[in-house]
């Protein structure tokens, strides 16, 4: 029996979507769905939920929960990763509250910036533990990574981990839909091309019947920008740099040095920037799960329709050899020619029985490549810190982060990093 292993299976709602999709896919019937999580109660919830869905869907998949990660991985053909190391309390709180003492404010803090750096540093050792297990018990498995920070973790798993890894993010999938809906434009027959890095990929082309739709997009966006709305940062970046970016405005507000500034506090209101957004979401999700859990388990049969999550479509394409196109995070093997080869990039990829085949993009417009490189600098120095164990590279990563460098002095950046290292304690490996 082939096996699909889900690590971080305590993320019950996400498990419901991804493995519900698997059970709803004819080509994936008969697989063992192996669940692993460090929280036994949440793991049991997911097992119970999936068994109920299995009955409703009439699936022949077999659900099995494991307390031993290595055994969960043994013989797996596909591994889905959705972990969060340190959770909301204590680590996310730490990532937000200590920088505030230095006057550094954040919105999401899960990609780059101080929050992204430290999320990486506590997650990379865990991911490399996974990689060691995979090398020994399922060396041919494909690793489908949903965990942030996407670019760095996907990079590390491919390079230091030696595991066939593709990073999957929702931002490419929803980019055009969200933009067109917000501007009241019809998406029928629209063709698009997106490439860059995770959370900062660019809508390079958007056409219908061969006609460039960017002039109309920008005309409507300029009208909408006259009043406050949820996407003001991305519209401003589009006006200034020429192209729309995939990830949300609350994310991009902290990827650049232009929007969250103590010296210009009026920018927060001007661009409708939700400071401390991620902690609020965490609290809402924790409370929402308590309510949702009761409703889910009140029902004797749980319905599911296949979602747009890439995972089941990737596995289906590999099993059937019917090609499927995704936006995937992969190593830059000459794909985007004006970004570093050491970087993880987000590009169109073709999936079939041969695996994930990324497509060649060539040069990005120079201003877009330049913006990407500002984030790649921090990503690569974070990898260097994690692999070498050298504290100086943590400082380098933070000093090169656009938002952090725009707000803090070099001394404050070093002091902030030192305080965060101490506060994280055993959540981090030791650095010299």
d(CA 128, CA 17) in angstroms, rounded, equals 26
Residues in Cβ contact with 211 at an 8 Å cutoff, skipping those fewer than 6 apart: none
Phi, psi of 164 (to 5 degrees): -65, 105
At 429, the pLDDT band (50, 70, 90 cuts) reads very high
pLDDT of residue 159: 98
Q: What is the pLDDT of residues 215-252, one digit of tens each?
A: 999 999 999 999 999 999 999 999 999 999 999 999 99
Q: Which CATH code is given to the segment(s) 88-108+168-275+309-432? A: 3.90.110.10
Residue 299 has pLDDT above 80, yes or no: no
Q: What is the mean pLDDT of residues 9-25?
A: 96
d(CA 220, CA 319) in angstroms, rounded, equals 43
pLDDT of residue 292: 82
284 annotated as a binding-site residue = no
Residue 295 has pLDDT above 90, yes or no: no
pLDDT of residue 392: 98
At 41, the pLDDT band (50, 70, 90 cuts) reads very high
396 in catalytic set: no
Q: Of 65-69, 290-294, 369-373, 379-383, which range is least confident?
A: 290-294
169 annotated as a binding-site residue = yes
Cβ atoms of residues 251 and 378 within 8 Å = no
Give the residue from 181, 194, 169, 272 showing the smallest Cα distance to 228. Answer: 272
Catalytic residue among 170, 251, 256, 424: 170
51 annotated as a binding-site residue = no
Q: What percent of the chain has pLDDT over 90?
A: 96
d(CA 159, CA 149) in angstroms, rounded, equals 16
Where along the chain do its domains lie? Answer: 3-87+109-167, 88-108+168-275+309-432
Residue 1 has pLDDT above 80, yes or no: no
**Domains 3-87+109-167 and 88-108+168-275+309-432 agree in fold:** no
Residue 381 has pLDDT above 90, yes or no: yes
pLDDT of residue 302: 85
At 414, the pLDDT band (50, 70, 90 cuts) reads very high
pLDDT of residue 148: 98
Q: What percent of the chain has pLDDT over 70?
A: 100
Query: Three-state DSSP class for 246?
Result: coil
Q: What is the dihedral of CA 243, 246, 247, 249, to 10 degrees?
A: 30
Q: What is the DSSP letter of 87?
A: I
pLDDT of residue 301: 76
Q: What is the mean pLDDT of residues 246-260?
A: 98
More confident residue, 307 or 299: 307
Q: What is the mean pLDDT of residues 271-289?
A: 95
Residue 314 has pLDDT above 80, yes or no: yes
Residue 149 has pLDDT above 80, yes or no: yes
The superfamily (CATH) of domain 3-87+109-167 is NAD(P)-binding Rossmann-like Domain (3.40.50.720)
pLDDT of residue 267: 98
pLDDT of residue 291: 83
pLDDT of residue 63: 98
pLDDT of residue 191: 98
């Amino acid at each position: 029996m082939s096996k699909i292993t889900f690590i971080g299976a305590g993320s019950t709602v996400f498990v419901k979507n991804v493995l519900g999709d698997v059970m709803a896919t004819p080509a994936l019937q008969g697989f063992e769905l192996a669940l692993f999580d460090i929280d036994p109660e949440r793991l049991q919830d997911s097992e119970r939920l999936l068994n109920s869905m299995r009955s409703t869907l009439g699936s022949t998949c077999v659900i099995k929960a494991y307390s031993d990660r290595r055994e969960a991985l043994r013989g797996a053909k596909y591994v889905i990763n959705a972990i969060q190391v340190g959770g909301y309390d204590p680590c996310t709180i730490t990532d937000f509250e200590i920088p505030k003492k230095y006057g550094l404010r954040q919105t999401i803090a899960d990609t780059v910036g101080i929050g992204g750096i430290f999320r990486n540093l506590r997650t990379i050792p865990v991911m490399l533990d996974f990689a060691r297990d995979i090398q020994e018990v399922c060396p041919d498995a494909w690793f489908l990574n949903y965990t942030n920070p996407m670019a760095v973790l996907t990079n590390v798993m491919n390079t230091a981990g030696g595991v066939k890894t593709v990073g999957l993010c929702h931002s490419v999938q929803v980019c055009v839909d969200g933009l067109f809906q917000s501007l009241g434009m019809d998406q029928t027959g629209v063709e698009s091309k997106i490439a860059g890095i995770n959370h900062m990929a660019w809508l390079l082309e958007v056409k219908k019947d061969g006609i460039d739709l960017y002039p109309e997009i920008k005309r409507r966006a300029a009208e909408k920008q006259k009043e406050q709305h949820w996407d003001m940062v991305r519209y401003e970046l589009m006006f200034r740099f020429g192209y729309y970016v995939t990830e949300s405005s609350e994310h991009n507000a902290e990827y650049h040095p232009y929007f969250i500034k103590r010296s210009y506090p009026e920018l927060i209101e001007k661009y409708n920037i939700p400071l401390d957004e991620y902690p609020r979401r965490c609290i809402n999700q924790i409370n929402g799960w308590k309510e949702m859990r009761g409703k889910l388990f009140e029902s004797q049969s749980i319905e599911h329709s296949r979602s747009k999550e890439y995972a089941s479509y990737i596995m289906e394409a590999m099993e059937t050899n019917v090609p499927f196109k995704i936006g995937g995070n992969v190593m830059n093997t000459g794909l985007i020619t004006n970004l570093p080869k050491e970087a993880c990039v987000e590009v169109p990829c073709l999936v079939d029985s041969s695996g994930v085949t990324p497509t060649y993009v060539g040069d990005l417009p120079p201003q877009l490549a330049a913006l990407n490189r500002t984030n790649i600098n921090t990503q690569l120095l974070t990898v260097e810190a994690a692999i070498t164990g050298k504290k100086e590279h943590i400082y380098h990563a933070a000093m090169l982060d656009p938002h952090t460098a725009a707000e803090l002095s070099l001394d404050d950046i070093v002091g902030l990093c030192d305080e965060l290292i101490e506060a994280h304690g055993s959540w981090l490996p030791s650095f010299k």
